[in-house]
Structure 1
Amino acid sequence: MSIVGAPKRIQEISAEGEEPPPEFFVKKDTIFAGNLGSVSSIQIPIIDLNLLSLDSNFEAYKDKINKLLDTLSSYGVFQVIGHGMSSSYLEEIRNLIKKFFCLSIKEKQKYGRAADGYEGYGNDPIFVEGQRLEKEHWYKLDLTCTKCPKPDKILGVKAHADASIITTLLQDKEVEGLQVLKDGKWYGVPTIPHALLINVGDQLEIMSNGIFKSPIHRVAANSEQERISQQCSISQIMRKR
């Protein structure tokens, strides 16, 4: 692969007030079409893990299990409370994430991800006009965290389904942005400050023979505030025998 010129990272472009290249703007007549910031909210099912204990009333337990199975087969995404993590612990996680992303590019690169690894800082650069790229997938871009001057025209994270078994997401407790596609229409996912959002991935949909659904989702950019969320994915590593 050959790249000419040094790519800029999202943090640099945002700080300098520049715009991403035209190919990153939402185009008409695509799955992205429409005002990203003007979608209706959807009531994502809320599951209280405390009520899924076998020590609880059996009928209540059975009702909650059926609700969970129905959620997995229809929405593929739900909010979890009663997960055992205190609000102060979750707040500490949020604060540490914010501190890290406030660091300079140079400082963050000290924690950079190795070429053959998956742990460490791996923020994608933005390739600008005039650079030569050999593979089309290098034009794909995830815009995350930073404020956006045109939130109705630029995606924060493009529409996709997770390749994992499940994804756990600690959302920003103040700034919404996550949207899910259901019945051909985009809906905003409300944020619950100390809940965890659980998202079914492609691997679980395959394992369940299509019964559980891996939802298409995206993140809308915000012109006023930064949005920072923490994601943890669980995946099955496939190996040839």
Structure 2
Amino acid sequence: MRGTPSLPAITTATTFARRLMLLLESSPHLLPYIRSLHVRSQDVECFHVVSAISWEQLQHLRVSFNAKDQSPVQRRGYIEGMAVLFSIPSLSAITITAHSKWTVDELRFLLSSCSPNTQQLEMYSCGVLPEVSLPSPPPAAHRPRIRDLTLKLSPSLLTALSAAFDFTHLHTFRYSQSWTPELNAFLRRYGSTVQGLSVSNKYLRLKGIALSQDRRRPDATLTSDSIFPSSVNFI
């Protein structure tokens, strides 16, 4: 109703998270039925409350927040809360919308916490601060094997993600942003297994990129919202 003050979104989200935690504590039999969770809040406390819940069968996690105006301590709170959630063993798909850039330490801490069962990763409006160097890759045995990757407005993440995840079995790749040398290098390195590539940018140039090592792959598909040069081949 117009003129009636409403609670701030952060308070509402945190209050709801606490109520959800109390509900699941009193009715733990409901936990196995929750397979998807979306945490959308600007309040660090909300992430800590949700991460304290013992999720048993959670498969898809979506987190949305904006930390660009937060202090380093507040940003660390976001990262720590998400890291606990990302480590859930049953988790296979993660979607992150951050509207901010990450330091290498933040990115390394978060990505190293992902469950080995994670196969699908989507990142929107995320970036890496350019003035810092990227972390060295962890041991290959500890890197989740990603089969489905989506990046939107996050071109600077490609090199960092290559150090944190195993893309040697990448099946589907969706990319929406301006052309970068990192994208070309990424496709040259991992394009041999890609069967579905969707790129949305009218200025994109893909030259000499082979999406498959097989001579003819009728199952390989290329979709785009833009014009692609004839040099994109399936060989």
Which protein is richer in helix relative to its size? 2
TM-score by length of 1: 0.25
Greater RCO (CA < 8 Å, at least 6 residues apart)? 1
TM-score by length of 2: 0.25
